[in-house]
Amino acid sequence: MRRSQIIKIVVVLVIVFAGIWAARQNHWLPMFSNTRSPAHSGTYFCPMHPSYVSDRPGQCPICHMSLVQMKSSEEANASHDHAALKDGSPKELTLKELMSMKPGQICLLHKCKMGNCIIAMTEEMARLGKCPHCKEDLGVIIKDLLPEGYAHVKLSPDKQRTIGIQTVTAETIDLKKTIRTVGVIAQDSELYQAEAEYIQALKAYERAQTGNLQEVIEQAKALVESTEVRLTYLGLNDELINEVAKMSTPDQSLLFTKPGGSVWVYAKIYEYEIPLVTVGQVVGIEVSSLPDKPYVGTIRSIDSILDSVTRMVRVRAQIENTDGFLKSDMYVNFIIEVDLGNVLAVPKEAVFDTGTRKIIFVDKKDGNFEPREVILGASTETYYEIKSGIQAGDQIVISGNFLIDSESRLKSALSQATGGHQHGG
């Protein structure tokens, strides 16, 4: 009896396992797995707002675009520890860690060709990731200096070719900027009248000083001061006011021009150009009706009042009119050549403007690209002056930086999300 029960149990177990095996062979039952169903596996992100990450499909709450599933390899790259980067990726250090390294340790970071480093790391060179001894790139990423919301990016050679990555070397160059604006030959009767009043006030003050009436002297002096204020308001500086004080009659070139004399040219420059323009600079004047006859003059004054509507300020230049071709109210091209000196400059294509920050991507070799926030100085038609953020000799990206920017921000967002900041859909 007992033996028959055992046989029945064995037969039942055989039938059950045979059924399970047959069901799996015919895909009637799914294989047991610890993973979630495909519809809810992995990480999903918004292509337009990579900072929004979800653990399930759905729509972005910001722009309502469908979320895109992140590939498992990218997910792993975003979540892995930076201290254990794969071979070929730059070592990531904090500024404090790099500053605390001894000279010999710094040499080992990049196999310094000069050897026997005895110079300790400086903060300036640490921020640039450079060896203080040979000035070469250490091949490290200073992670606490990365712009907020950015991460370093590693791209394969094939991907670099696909997105058209091009780089150039940042270097110091003799930078010149040309400011071109429209000028007009002055016909300024208001200034002419103000000069006449100032000259008359000076003469009256001189006559008053010959008398003994203190009240008359004070009134005459007050009149001189008020007319000086008016000349300043109309755009003359102290030097030009002193010249008017020595004249017996107002400057007639403010009313009409004549051969052998000089003319005044008024032109306006933008607010951001004011630091580049100074009294005494040479200006070029071009007249459309006289294309083969350039004129040269000198800036004599810059107005002290900015136009609140156009955000421009008037510049006053004096031009010799030896042949008399320049006529009042004639429009001219007003050209100022500004020498910016020998400065660190990069092509404009290298600077990625986010609207709030200016980013340059530095090629750290072996497919590694590091985002750097830079401060810009003056600009020309093709170059930006760089005040800080990179150094001469850095390899910088000038083509494909838009896609690198997207990749960098996405990697940073996913890195934060997989660190415990995911949002549920």
Whole-structure pTM value: 0.63
Residue 340: other Cβ atoms inside 10 A: 18
Range with the poorest average pLDDT among 17-31, 58-72, 213-227, 388-402: 17-31
The pLDDT of residue 122 is 72
What average pLDDT score do residues 335-362 get? 93
What average pLDDT score do residues 188-200 get? 95
The pLDDT of residue 78 is 43
The arrangement of secondary structure in 153-175+341-421, i.e. its CATH architecture, is: Beta Barrel (2.40)
Beta-sheet strand order (sheet of 44-45)? 53-54, 44-45, 68-69
The pLDDT of residue 140 is 72
Contacts of residues 292-300 at CB distance under 8 Å and 24 or more positions apart, as own/partner, are 293/325, 295/319, 295/320, 295/326, 295/332, 297/265, 299/336, 300/237, 300/239, 300/240
Stronger pLDDT, 53 or 193, i.e. the higher one: 193
CB 170 within 8 A of CB 390: yes
358 - beta bridge partners?
Answer: 353
Write the pLDDT tens digit of every residue in 197-211.
Answer: 999 999 999 989 888
Write the pLDDT tens digit of every residue in 141-182.
Answer: 776 567 888 888 888 889 889 889 999 999 999 999 999 999
- Is the per-residue pLDDT at 74 higher than 60? no
The pLDDT of residue 110 is 62
* Interaxial angle between packed helices 72-79 and 401-416, expressed in degrees from 0 to 180 and rounded to the nearest 10: 70
Check the CA dihedral 401-404-405-406 and report its sign. positive
What average pLDDT score do residues 47-64 get? 72
Tokens read off for 151: 């991460």
Write the pLDDT tens digit of every residue in 84-109.
Answer: 344 455 677 766 676 677 666 666 66
Q: What is the residue-wise DSSP string for 141-193?
A: EEGGGSPTT---EE--HHHHHHHT-EEEE-EEEEEEEEEEEEEEE---HHHHH
Residue ranges per structural domain of the chain: 1-32, 85-145, 153-175+341-421, 189-252
- Is the per-residue pLDDT at 28 higher than 50? no
- Which range has the top average pLDDT, 46-50, 70-74, 281-285, 369-373? 281-285
The pLDDT of residue 52 is 67
